[in-house]
């Protein structure tokens, strides 16, 4: 069984313009420390080179017994380099269906929307927001575009509002294997010191 399960729902219908030069087409998440997760939205165009505008918000709410009150936070990070924790099909997902269409699931890769819009191109810019106080469990996430969103962050369709399961490995990072080695070495050295004291 996958550590992270993505469950899709047609949670929100958005009225969008029918012509645009860019869209928000991906959503992903990565660990940002104990109980903390960064969510990243990605688009395939970002206006001026080197400039990633920030706009819109994200709402996250615990469901199915997960205790996390509905919280809406504005995006406050941006980058032109794909965040390291976004792994396609595991922690990063893409829109499907036609633009403005309702009731679409998310996909593990970008082939679905690129087949419909071959001129769109791959994701080249990301905007992010951090949620704290999370535990392993099920969550509803909703991308909330600003009123009259720019082309850069106009959602492709309603699939950017869905549900997901955050595994414990996401909300509570597992120490690197090297850390286990250092911890083991430290315990061995402590044992040697203790024996020396006892024999003296």
d(C-alpha 76, C-alpha 127), whole Å = 7
Q: What is the pLDDT of residue 48?
A: 61
Q: What is the pLDDT of residue 20?
A: 42
Q: Within a domain: residue 194?
A: no
Q: Within a domain: residue 195?
A: no
Q: What is the pLDDT of residue 180?
A: 46
Q: Within a domain: residue 188?
A: no
pLDDT digits (tens, 9 = 90+) for 148-181: 998 889 999 999 999 999 999 888 865 555 444 5
Percent of the chain, pLDDT > 90?
Answer: 56
Give the alpha-carbon dihedral of 105, 98, 10, 7, to 10 degrees.
Answer: 10
User: 168 is in which domain, residue-wise?
Assistant: 6-174
Q: Within a domain: residue 192?
A: no
Q: Is 150 buried (19+), middle (13-18) or exposed (0-12) by CB count in 10 A?
A: middle
Higher confidence at residue 194 or residue 144? Answer: 144
As given in the structure block, the two tokens for residue 107 are 């996909």
Kindly report the pTM of this predicted structure: 0.77
Q: Within a domain: residue 131?
A: yes
Q: What is the pLDDT of residue 57?
A: 97
Q: Within a domain: residue 185?
A: no
Q: What is the pLDDT of residue 22?
A: 80
d(C-alpha 154, C-alpha 56), whole Å = 9
pLDDT digits (tens, 9 = 90+) for 63-116: 999 999 999 999 999 999 999 999 999 999 999 999 888 888 999 999 999 998
Is a pLDDT exceeding 60 seen at residue 11? no
Which stretch of 25-29, 63-67, 137-141, 154-158 has the lowest confidence by average pLDDT? 154-158
What is the per-residue burial (b if ≥16 Cβ within 10 Å, else e) of 3-12? eeebebeeeb
Q: What's 12's DSSP letter?
A: -
- DSSP track, 108-136: SSSHHHHHH-TTT-S--EEEEEEE-S--S
The mean pLDDT value for 19-44 works out to 89
Is the Cβ–Cβ distance between 108 and 159 less than 8 Å? no
Percent of the chain, pLDDT > 70?
Answer: 73
Is the Cβ–Cβ distance between 154 and 24 less than 8 Å? yes
As given in the structure block, the two tokens for residue 84 are 């390291």
Domain count along the chain: 1
The mean pLDDT value for 132-160 works out to 93
Q: Within a domain: residue 94?
A: yes
Q: Within a domain: residue 193?
A: no
């Amino acid at each position: 069984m996958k550590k992270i399960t993505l469950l899709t729902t047609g949670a929100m219908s958005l009225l969008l313009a029918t012509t645009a030069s860019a869209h928000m087409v991906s959503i992903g998440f990565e660990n940002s420390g104990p109980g903390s997760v960064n969510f990243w939205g990605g688009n395939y165009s970002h206006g001026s080179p080197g400039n990633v505008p920030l706009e819109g918000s994200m709402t996250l709410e615990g469901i199915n017994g997960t205790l996390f009150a509905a919280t809406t936070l504005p995006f406050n990070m941006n980058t032109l380099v794909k965040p390291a924790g976004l792994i396609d099909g595991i922690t990063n997902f893409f829109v499907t269906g036609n633009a403005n269409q309702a009731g679409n699931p998310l996909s593990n890769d970008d082939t679905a929307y690129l087949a419909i819009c071959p001129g769109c191109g791959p994701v080249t810019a990301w905007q992010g927001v951090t949620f704290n106080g999370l535990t392993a469990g099920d969550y509803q996430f909703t991308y909330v575009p600003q009123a009259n969103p720019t082309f850069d962050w106009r959602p492709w369709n309603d699939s950017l509002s869905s549900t997901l399961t955050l595994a414990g490995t996401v909300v509570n990072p597992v120490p690197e294997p090297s850390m286990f080695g250092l911890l083991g070495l430290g315990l061995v050295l402590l044992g040697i010191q203790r024996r020396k004291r006892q024999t003296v």
